[in-house]
Amino acid sequence: MTSILRTTLRVGLASLVAASAVGALAAPAHAAGNTSAFKSGNTLFVNAATGTTNNIKLERSINGQFYNISDAGGFAIGSGCQSTGQRSVMCAAAGISEIRINAGDLDDRIELNTATFAVVLGSSGNDTIVSKHINSQARLNGNDGNDTIIGADFDRLFGQNDHDTLSGGRLLNGGSGNDKLFGLGGNDSLVGGPGTDHLDGGSGFDDLCIEGETTVACEAFSL
């Protein structure tokens, strides 16, 4: 184990780990401009309206019985959810073991505050995705656009396409483009991907991985 003062690398190499694509989230038909929220089996779906700049916030209620969801626009409410205002709904938490959020097009913001496993898709646009819960183990995907993703300690962050900034999380994968990855505290794994990237593991024992044209290299660093 090599000890250095700062775990920083700049690389311009091919990707070691490609973030796997997450399938499109199914949703019932809803009026244009409305975000849909509904339960299906053990999954809570939140699908952003198209053609709208969304500001989706999801958090577990204090009593743990509901998920409170708000957005900048209106909602199309499906099974297991009910309106709590013009721009907010609550959905029963009973039986839910997974949450899936799709931000859709344009430049959106998604804020997540729950320990329930979640998959978030930024989709197209320059999106901001924030995961706040200390016990979160979410998978946060920027997809297309220049995205900013801020994860909690155990989250997995995937910038995917374009020039992204990722911070926090246990696994950070920039994907293609010129990305900036910051591991912050803890024992993290950082993967730059194709492009000229900045990798900073922060404190802890970190793995910084890069791939050349014919070889793969992973270095372990501690601060």
Q: What is the mean pLDDT of residues 107-125?
A: 97
The pLDDT score that the predictor gives to residue 186 is 83
The pLDDT score that the predictor gives to residue 10 is 43
Residue 211 has pLDDT above 50, yes or no: yes
Residue 216 has pLDDT above 60, yes or no: no
Per-residue pLDDT tens over the stretch 46-74: 999 889 999 999 999 999 999 999 999 99
Residue 26 has pLDDT above 50, yes or no: no
Long-range contacts of 197-202 (CB under 8 A, 24+ apart): 197/9, 197/10, 197/11, 197/12, 198/8, 198/9, 198/10, 199/7, 199/8, 199/9, 199/10, 199/11, 200/6, 200/7, 200/8, 201/7, 201/8, 202/7
The pLDDT score that the predictor gives to residue 81 is 99
Q: Domain coordinates of the chain in residue numbers?
A: 2-222
Q: What is the mean pLDDT of residues 110-125?
A: 97
Q: What is the mean pLDDT of residues 198-220?
A: 72
Residue 108 has pLDDT above 50, yes or no: yes
Arithmetic mean of pLDDT over the chain: 84
Bridge partners (DSSP) of residue 209 are 191, 218
| pLDDT-derived band at 217, boundaries 50, 70, 90 | low
Residue 221 token pair: 């660093």
**Between the CA of residue 81 and those of 92, 115, 188, 190, what are the distances in Å?**
6, 19, 37, 38
Least confident of 37-46, 141-150, 192-201: 192-201
Least confident of 103-112, 147-156, 180-189: 180-189
How many residues in the chain?
A: 223
Token look-up 């994968």 returns: 173
Per-residue pLDDT tens over the stretch 134-171: 999 999 999 999 999 999 999 999 999 999 999 999 99
The pLDDT score that the predictor gives to residue 205 is 87
Are residues 187 and 203 in contact, defined by beta-carbon separation less than 8 angstroms? no
The pLDDT score that the predictor gives to residue 22 is 38
